[in-house]
Structure 1
Amino acid sequence: MPKGKPSVSKEVKEQIIKRIKEEGIPVAQAAQEHGLQPRTIYGWISRKVTSQPSILEVSRLRRENQALKELIGQITLEMSMAKKKADNG
């Protein structure tokens, strides 16, 4: 095995890909946590791609969904505060 190239078991690869897909962690973060290059993980993902939505797309959509939920919460709170102010004023 070439020196400096980490050996990663199939189980660890699947765990990393699962975290990216289900938890929405960025590939760069997963790579850094495991001492890997992001391109290595992108390679694993591209080999794992089937007719399902891309793991990266699912991850991106999860992050976007969370951001939108937070925005809705903020707007709801602001509207509630404005209504209370109008009712009291």
Structure 2
Amino acid sequence: MYKRHDQSFKDEILAIIKNGTKVPDVCAQYNMSTKTVYAWLRAQADNTGTSSLELARLRRENQELKEIIGMFALEKKRTEKNTKSA
């Protein structure tokens, strides 16, 4: 059975995905089909030229890279501190 969703609900779901939450996680939380959400993402990409899914993936990747850089910076600081102590 098909369930119609109003535009405000679709916008809310797409905003959650744009902020980095994965589509399967959102679908599980809202008890929806991933196929439905991917169709909304495709339709939105046709209108904007940029896929929300791609944007969310890039945001997650950016966050992961920032965390890696932070770990390297912390390790460098520890190494410098240990070299000065020795």
TM superposition score normalised by structure 1:
0.88
Provide the rounded CA distance (Å) in 1 between the counterparts of 2:6 and 2:48. 25
Structure 1 position 56 matched with structure 2 position 59 = no
The residue number in structure 1 matching 2:68 is 71
The residue number in structure 2 matching 1:31 is 27
Query: Which deviates more, 27-36 or 48-57?
Result: 48-57
Deviation, structure 1 residue 13: 0.7
Provide the rounded CA distance (Å) in 2 between the counterparts of 1:86 and 1:31. 51
Provide the rounded CA distance (Å) in 2 between the counterparts of 1:52 and 1:65. 21
Amino acid in structure 2 at the alignment position of 1:62 = R
Deviation, structure 1 residue 33: 1.0
1:3-26 CA distances to partner (integer Å, 9 max, x unpaired)?
Answer: xx43322111110001111x1100
Provide the rounded CA distance (Å) in 2 between the counterparts of 1:36 and 1:68. 31
Aligned length: 85
Residue 8 of structure 1, aligned match among 5, 8, 24: 5
Deviation, structure 1 residue 61: 0.3
The residue number in structure 1 matching 2:36 is 40
Query: Structure 1, unaligned stretches of length 5 or more?
Result: none
Contact 2:44 2:51 in 1 (8 A): no
CA RMSD, 1 decimal: 1.2
Shift >6 Å, 4+ stretches: none
